[in-house]
Chains A and B, each alone.
Chain A
Amino acid sequence: MKPTDDVLNLYVDGRLPPDEVRRVEDALADDAGLRERLEALVATREAIHAAFAESADLPGFDEAWAGVEARLDREAAARGERAPGLLERLFPGLAEGWAWLLRPQLVLAVGAAAVALVVTGLWIAGGADGTTPGPSESPRVASTNPDASPIVPGARRELGAENGRRGMVGEEHAPRSLAIVESYAVDRGVVVVSAPAGSAKRPLVIWHLVPGEELDDEEVMP
Chain B
Amino acid sequence: MTGRLLCVAMTLLLLLLPLASRQLCAEGQAPQVRAEAAPDVQQAPDKRVKVEVRVIVARKGPARVDPRLDDAKDYLTRGLGSRFTGFDLLVSQVLELGPKQLGTVEVPGGESIDLTFLGVQEGYLRFKARFQDLTVRVKLYEGGVFIQAGRKLGDGVLVFLIGARSQ
Contacts and interface: CB of A to CB of B under 8 A. Distances in A.
A182 B78 contact: no
Interface residues of A, number: 61
Contacts of A215: 150, 152, 157
B4 interface: yes
Interface string A181-210: 111111111010000101101111111111
Contacts, number: 174
A110 interface: yes
A32 B78 CA distance: 103
A110 B134 contact: no
Contacts of B145: 178-179, 203
Nearest to B123: A175
A121 interface: yes
A213 B151 contact: yes
A202 B135 contact: no
A110 B25 contact: no
Output the residue of A103, A113, A124, A206 with the most chain B CB within 10 A: A206
Interface of A: 100-101, 103, 105-106, 109-110, 112-114, 116-117, 120-121, 123-124, 128-131, 137-138, 141, 144-145, 172-173, 176-189, 191, 196, 198-199, 201-210, 213-215, 219-220, 222
Interface of B: 2-4, 6-8, 10-11, 14-15, 17-19, 21-22, 25-26, 29, 32-33, 36-37, 74-75, 78-81, 83, 122, 124, 126, 131-141, 143-152, 157, 161
The 7 closest A-B pairs by CB, nearest first: A100-B3, A120-B18, A113-B14, A178-B144, A187-B133, A182-B137, A179-B146
